[in-house]
Amino acid sequence: MNAPPDTVAEPIRVLVVEDEPLVAENLRADLDDAGFAVVGVAGRLERALRLIEEVAFDVAILDANLAGTSAAPAAAALSARQLPFVVLSGYAREQLQRQFSEGVYLQKPYRVAELVDHLRSLLRGRRDQTPAAPL
């Protein structure tokens, strides 16, 4: 009798959009430790937009300000593709442009457990909204 194959869930794929290299590296390490897979890191708007178009991911973490440039176009691109995202910012929520409104807001400095909870909650909510496949 053969044993059933191991079923290992694929890790959740995360795109990180953060211009501060140390913060980006800390995010990568924190996410790796929590079992996520960081599939791309962008520190500038142009790269973020390119990765949103070209890389397969489940959820994004988006800094609102990338080296003095608003990341609102990246937030709009994520929303247009119906991809969930967390806005991780030093700005107060009220200071953010409307393009960020579809993301879950988390202020810097962040707590890892809170960030992980937000990421998992976003994906849980997505699965709950996905219609069942027809029989």
pTM of the model: 0.85
Task: Check which CATH number belongs to the domain holding 103 and give it.
Answer: 3.40.50.2300
Q: Mean per-residue pLDDT for 27-52?
A: 97
Domain-located, residue 35:
yes
Query: Is it the case that residue 37 has pLDDT exceeding 50?
Result: yes
**Structure confidence at residue 125 (pLDDT):** 67
Q: Please report, to the nearest 10 degrees, the dihedral formed by the alpha carbons of residues 79, 88, 16, 35 taken in order.
A: -110
State the Cα angle at 52 between 86 and 83, rounded to 5°.
45
Q: Mean per-residue pLDDT for 41-50?
A: 97
**Structure confidence at residue 96 (pLDDT):** 93
Distance from C-alpha of 59 to C-alpha of 13, rounded to nearest angstrom:
7
Domain-located, residue 7:
no
Q: How many CB atoms are located within 10 Å of the residue 99 CB?
A: 19
pLDDT tens digit string along 70-100? Answer: 999 999 999 999 999 999 998 888 899 999 9
* Domain count for the chain: 1
Domain-located, residue 57:
yes
